[in-house]
Structure 1
Amino acid sequence: MAIIVQKYGGTSVADAEKIRRAAKRVIKTVENGFGVVVVASARGKQTD
């Protein structure tokens, strides 16, 4: 099984809707038969 790394941070996780959108992308990748490693960094305009 191939593994895909997906990184989300900044504006891509700035609010609840964008977090849901990122989660749907992760789910779709898994459904397509890939393993997924998710890297999540700080939300928009925040630091780690």
Structure 2
Amino acid sequence: MTQATRLAQVRPELSKAYAVALGRWMGDRKLMLLGLPIITESYRSNAT
């Protein structure tokens, strides 16, 4: 599953939070050395 597919499946709040994290990552060379922030899961059960 691609990152764009995962982002399309999550709540808008998570998508916005990821955009903030990605912006911070792009502006900080030390963070860039640690690797790109990714969304690993997008499933949310009906129990939540």
TM-score by length of 2: 0.43
Report which of the two structures shows the higher radius of gyration computed on alpha carbons: 2
Higher helix share: 2
TM-score by length of 1: 0.43
